[in-house]
Chain A
Amino acid sequence: MLIWFLPLFLLFLLIGFPVFFSLLAAPGILLWLNDQSRDAAMLYRNIYNGIDSFPLMAIPFFMLAGELMNRGGITLRLVEFSQALMGHFRGGLAHVNILSSILFAGLSGSAVADTSAIGSMLIPAMEKQGYSKRFAAAITAASSVIGPIIPPSGIMIIYAYVMGESVAALFLAGIVPGLLVGISLMVMVRLMADRYNFPPATTKSTWTYRGKASLKAFFPLMTPVIILGGILGGVFTPTEASAVAAAYAFFIGLFVLKSLEWRDVPKVFTKAAMVSSVVLLLVGAAMAFKTVVSLSHAPEHLAAFVLSLSDNPYILLFLINILLFVVGMFLDAGPAIIILGPILGPVFVDLGVHPVHFAIIMSVNLTVGLATPPMGLVLFVASSVSGERVESIAKAILPFLLVEVIVIFLITYFPALSMTIPLLTGFTK
């Protein structure tokens, strides 16, 4: 009986019920029909306990750090730095866009923030240089998915918390896959550059100019050093690192770069609090949902079904990637991870896939889903930043999505790509 919560849940989602309420309504109604209404109190307590968590606090802090950097003119410095390094290549600004996303990813854990920050600066600049608007918007959207793959990462914090993994291990495992996405996109741009005759952005920068640009970007570029260095060196937990990152962004925005104004401070904090509150409620609801998932024995049923398809993990991973990709087309990465993690994770871990490896497969796949039509969030953001229609960006992004799909499969079938760093540093076994 209880197993019906899953179809019911999907139905709720499809008719437009908010994910938060769907997560509670589907199991709640079945508990009620099953005469287990007393368990509703357990659902409530699981929501509360789900939110009442120290590791989860990294979410509001990283959101805050991202908002502060966005306001603080930090993006501009990163873009100038990227331009000094890569502007002279053919397709220069497209490369600059990708490199900026990689650098931005080390400060922020959100693809949406990346698209709006880098897009509002580089899309007009690219257009001026003769790129089509839709190409500029497409490369911005495609490269922004690096944001949540390279640490810090909002969705990896959520995954680690919901599934009881180490945040540090997931962060470290994301570094190589994130760089790989960036480099592959650059290769694609290079291939397209000859065919479509992309212009170089600038003449080659002198080393003096490069030095100056690096100096200006020095403070922002120290953020990932503080976060990762702090976690790896055992100075902070990931939550503490996130608070330090927020304080650091606040400090350099106000006092060093002077690009943040006092009167903007309440706005920035309010926005970060608001976005985080939605995520925190979702995580709380997911923890309640997760208990019902295990009560209903859904993972066992699902495992039996999955194993009836094939018992070869390679084939199953292929199938799961397709499933995740389709889900990612319609649902945001955060909610998708919250819903699917507890259902799929145990099945694949039993099949012998390393939990951290599976977390990375899921995170990368669902993150790329942010840039896929019809419901890719960053496509919408890129569209509002550039003024180009979503449909035409969706078409222009296809070559880059192809590259990202290839990377997803590389990560899936070569675990060493993600696992080497966390294994070497001893953050996972």
Chain B
Amino acid sequence: MLSLLFKYIERFNTVFLRVGRQLAWLAIFLMVVVILIQVFFRYILNNALPWPDEVARFLMLWMTGLIAPSAYRWGGFVSIDVISKLLPTHVGNILALALLFLSLTILLIGFNLGLQHIKMGWIFESASIKLPWQLIGGKQEAMKLAWMYMSIPVGVFFLISVTIELILRNLISLLKPDLSMIMDTDKEKLES
């Protein structure tokens, strides 16, 4: 039961986080492009554009939301492990499990607050990002800030699914120490 649940959620994370990473690297690439456009227009053409600042921040927020869960899953969140390493394996595992549940609580509260934040975002409009619907025969429209606010809750959502995976991983290694668990190999590919 546990290991089946683990298998599904592991698969889910592997697939969706991979998509997230692809979008995130595109986002940082576009950020560079947007800022170069800003510099070019202001310094060379003497015409400061209103939108690059906000578009770049939009991209940075989405980059963070989309790729931070991968970092978390691969152990990229900074922590001090001197003391937990000194503990006997069993005690260390239980402590780790307790901390994972605490993280899960924080993330769930954060997700809920994020949803409320998004709700407010439908009221406010972006000052500078206009969606060019006129190009396809519609009317130009300011972007709702909710599209920007969504970035972090989306990230929190995947952080939650990663935390659940980590909890299951921990439980399984505690209950059935000899069961081998799959782990996606994308991290090694990235390092090479």
**Which residues does chain A contribute within 8 Å of B110, judged by CB atoms?**
24, 44, 47
Chain A positions near chain B (C-beta within 8 angstroms)? 13-21, 24-25, 28, 40-41, 44-45, 47-48, 51-54, 56-57, 60-61, 64, 235-236, 239-240, 243-244, 246-247, 250, 266-267, 269-278, 280-282, 330-332, 334-335, 374-375
Contact A44 B28 (CB under 8 A): no
A367 CB to closest chain B CB (Å) equals 16
Extra 19 A-B pairs, beta carbons < 8 Å, given A243-B32, A280-B64: A15-B84, A15-B95, A16-B99, A17-B103, A19-B77, A21-B106, A24-B110, A41-B117, A48-B149, A53-B57, A235-B43, A274-B24, A275-B71, A277-B71, A280-B60, A280-B68, A281-B68, A330-B82, A375-B82
Tell whether A51 pairs with B76 under 8 Å between CB atoms, given A16-B84, A16-B95, A278-B71.
no
Q: Is the CB of B190 within 8 A of A52?
A: no
Contact A273 B53, beta carbon cutoff 8 Å: no
Assess whether B24 is in contact with A273, with CB atoms less than 8 Å apart: yes
Contact A44 B117 (CB under 8 A): yes
16 A-B residue pairings within 8 Å (CB atoms):
A16-B96, A21-B99, A41-B117, A47-B152, A48-B61, A51-B61, A60-B28, A239-B35, A240-B35, A270-B21, A273-B27, A273-B63, A276-B63, A277-B24, A375-B80, A375-B82
Q: Using CB atoms, name the residue of chain B closest to A236.
A: B39
Does B182 touch A at the CB level, under 8 Å?
A: no
Q: In the assembled complex, which residues on chain A have CB atoms less than 8 Å from the CB atom of B24? A: 270, 273-274, 277
In the complex formed, the residue of B with least CB distance to A44 is B113
B81 within 8 A of A: yes
Chain A residues with CB under 8 Å of B189's CB are: 267
1-30 of chain B: CB within 8 A of chain A: 21-22, 24-25, 27-29
A381–B39 Cα distance when bound, in Å, is 37
- Bitwise interface map of B from 26 to 66 toward A, beta carbon under 8 Å scored 1, else 0: 01110110011011000100000000010011001101100
Chain B residues within an 8 Å CB radius of A19: 77-79
Task: Tell me which residues across on chain A come within 8 A of B116, comparing CB atoms.
Answer: 41
Contact of B80 among A13, A239, A246 (CB under 8 A): A13
Q: Is B160 an interface residue when CB atoms closer than 8 A count as contact?
A: no
Give B residues with C-beta under 8 Å from A.
21-22, 24-25, 27-29, 31-32, 35-36, 38-39, 43, 53, 56-57, 60-61, 63-64, 67-68, 70-71, 76-84, 95-96, 99, 102-103, 106, 109-110, 113-114, 116-117, 148-149, 152, 189-190
**Are B99 and A267 touching (Cβ within 8 A)?**
no
Q: How far is the CB of A26 from chain B (nearest CB, A)?
A: 11
Do A25 and B190 form a contact, CB below 8 Å, given A44-B117, A243-B32, A270-B25?
A: no
Q: Are B190 and A270 in contact (CB under 8 A)?
A: yes
Interface of A, helix, strand, loop or mixed by DSSP: helix
Q: Provided the pairs A17-B99, A18-B103, A25-B102 are in contact, do residues A277 and B36 lie with their beta carbons within 8 angstroms?
A: no
Contact residues in A for B114 (Cβ distance below 8 Å): 44
Question: Hey, which chain A residues are within 8 Å of B84, CB to CB?
Answer: 15-16
Indicate which residue in A15, A61, A282 contacts B83 across the interface (CB closer than 8 Å): A15
- In this complex, the member of A57, A332, A334 whose beta carbon has the largest number of chain B beta carbons within 10 angstroms is A57
| A56 neighbours in B (Cβ, 8 Å) | 60
**Contact A57 B78, beta carbon cutoff 8 Å:** no
**With contact pairs A44-B110, A57-B56, A273-B24 given, residues A16 and B83 touching in the complex (Cβ less than 8 Å):** yes
A266 to B95 CA separation, bound complex (whole angstroms) = 37
* B39 surroundings in chain A (CB, below 8 A): 235-236, 240, 243-244
Which residues of chain A are within 8 angstroms of B27 by Cβ–Cβ distance? Answer: 273
Q: Are B79 and A18 in contact (CB under 8 A)?
A: yes
**CB neighbours of B63 from chain A (8 A):** 60, 273, 276-277
A residues less than 8 Å from B99 (CB atoms)? 15-17, 21
> Which residues of A are found within 8 Å of B102, using beta-carbon distances?
17, 21, 25
Known: A19-B77, A277-B64. Is A57-B57 also a contact (CB below 8 A)? Answer: yes
Which B residues lie within 8 Å of A276 (CB)? 28, 63-64
User: In the complex the two chains form, what is the Cα distance from A247 to B38 in whole Å?
Assistant: 13
- Of the candidates A51, A61, A277, the one having the most CB atoms from chain B within 10 angstroms of its own CB is A277
B68 neighbours in A (Cβ, 8 Å): 274, 277-278, 280-281
Kindly list chain B residues whose C-beta atoms are within 8 Å of the C-beta of A40.
109, 113
Do A330 and B80 have beta carbons less than 8 Å apart?
A: yes
Would you call B67 and A48 a contact (CB within 8 A)? no
Complexed CA–CA distance, A268 and B75 (Å): 19
Q: Would A51 and B78 be within 8 Å (CB), given that A24-B106, A28-B106, A277-B67 are in contact?
A: no
Chain A's nearest CB lies how many Å from the CB of B152?
Answer: 6
CA A56 – CA B96 in complex, angstroms? 32
Which of these, B64, B77, B83, contacts A18 with CB under 8 Å?
Answer: B77
Bound form: Cα–Cα A277–B82 in Å: 25
Chain B residues contacting A18 (CB-CB under 8 Å) are 77-79, 103
Provide the bound-state CA to CA distance between A25 and B45, in Å.
49
Whether the pair B61, A52 counts as a contact (CB closer than 8 A) is yes
Known A-B contacts A40-B113, A57-B31, A267-B190; the reply to A16 vs B81 at CB < 8 A is: yes
Docked complex Cα distance between A53 and B114 (Å): 18
Given known A52-B57, A266-B25, contact A45–B67 (CB-CB < 8 A)? no
